[in-house]
Amino acid sequence: MSTGGISSVGSPRQTLLTAGRSLSYPPPEWKIFAKFHALQENAMPTPILEVTGLTKTYENNTQAVKGISFSVDKGEVFGILGPNGAGKTTTLEMIEGLRSITSGTVLLDGIKAQENPYEVKRRIGIQLQASAFFQNLKLTELLEMFRDLYGSDVDITTLLADVGLAEKADFFVKNLSGGQKQRFSIATTLVNKPVMVFLDEPTTGLDPQARRNLWDLIAQIKSRGTTVILTTHYMDEAQFLCDRLAIMDDGKIVALDSPNQLIRQLLTRGFQPHSEIPPATLEDVFLDLTGKTLRD
């Protein structure tokens, strides 16, 4: 098993998105590993993240996370849904090594988060909910800084092109649109070729075009074999992107399955929709009228 780099599942040479720009990723020498991986993946999904009895109790005795357990398989997109205050962000931050764990264990790529938070951080990419960056630094300079912090040798130009920001290389973050900011923020999570990226509400506040564009980017990251764990408030997004999802409420996981299974389970419980669901949504109307072209 290869660690420290991006492991690829499926087609070893993939042409990546963004404005007709094509680049091959991963490089040809990864081919053999990729095939080997693909074989393994087909045989049985290997969990890359195992969370057992994870609990967070704050100093004022409020319990934000109440002993949750779940595992995330290598290469899947795993979603965490839940109303505000359900404990999503706290859960992510404990896994990421950003917040101390009250009890329970987090095993990421074979490393215990509470014992080795820095080793965990080395292998993952983290997009924070409200991502802010140093002012007065150009996109390339910020990416170079992050690259150096990880001791990585990733090519910055390629990385910017991957997220569709090649033309904005010399821009400052404050001059980017909301969608571009989020794409840049995701680019910073990829400098270390992480085995897993964490995206905390990546599409909140974006217009439908920018949201769809970000979905493409997340799908692309997945297609490289990078595991993605994300939180969202948008159900269509969860349904479109996530292989499996956990629904959290009040610090506990109340359901965990694939989106289709969760829907099926609801229907078998005798659920009746409030009204006839039309075969198209208002968002479909909006996108039909305004097009899918990015506006930023």
Partner 1 sequence: MNQNIRSFLALTKASMKMYYRNKGAVVFTLLLPVALMSIFGFLSSGSGTLLKIGYTNHSTSAMSLQLVEELKKTKAFGAVEMTEEQATEQLTKGDLDLQIIIPENFATAENGNPLASSVMTRYNKAKPQTGQIATMAIVQLVSHLDRAFTKSPTLLDVKSEGITANRLGYFDFVLPGILAMTIMQLGIFGVAFSFVAMKASGALRRIQATPVHPVYFVFGQAVVRLLITLATTALLVTLGTYFFHFHMVGSYFSFGLIAVLGILLFLGFGFGIAGWAKDETQVAPVANLLQLPMLLLSGIFFSREGFPAWLKSVTDYFPLTYLTHGLRKVANEGASLSQIPVDLIGMIVWLVLIYALAIKVFRWE
CB of 19 to partner 1, least distance (A): 27
Question: What is the amino acid identity at position 260?
Answer: N
64/126 with CB nearer partner 1 = 126
141/207 with CB nearer partner 1 = 141
37/122 with CB nearer partner 1 = 122
Question: What is the amino acid identity at position 158?
Answer: T
Q: Which of 202, 220, 223 is nearest to 211 (CA)?
A: 202
118/271 with CB nearer partner 1 = 118
**Number of other residues whose CB lies within 10 A of the CB of residue 13:** 13
29/153 with CB nearer partner 1 = 153
The whole-angstrom separation of Cα 213 and Cα 240 is 13
133/240 with CB nearer partner 1 = 133
Cis peptide before 26 (omega within 30 of 0): yes
Residue 4 Ramachandran class (φ > 0 left, ψ -120 to 50 alpha, else beta): left
122/168 with CB nearer partner 1 = 122
Question: What is the amino acid identity at position 283?
Answer: E
CB of 247 to partner 1, least distance (A): 25
CB of 120 to partner 1, least distance (A): 8
68/126 with CB nearer partner 1 = 126
- Hey, CA dihedral for 176, 179, 182, 184, is it positive or negative? negative
CB of 178 to partner 1, least distance (A): 16
State in Å, rounded, how far the first CA of the chain is from the last one. 40
CB of 210 to partner 1, least distance (A): 21
Q: What is the layout of strands, in order, in the sheet containing 63-73?
A: 63-73, 47-57, 103-108, 111-112
Tell me the pairing of strands 24-25 and 14-15.
antiparallel
CB of 40 to partner 1, least distance (A): 27
Residues near partner 1 (CB under 8 A): 96, 98, 118-119, 121-122, 126, 128, 130-137, 141-142, 144-146, 148-151, 188
CB of 10 to partner 1, least distance (A): 29
Whether residue 296 contacts residue 180, with contact meaning beta carbons closer than 8 Å, is answered with yes
CB of 112 to partner 1, least distance (A): 15
Cis peptide before 278 (omega within 30 of 0): no
Environment class of 171 (CB within 10 Å of its CB; exposed 0-12, middle 13-18, buried 19+): middle
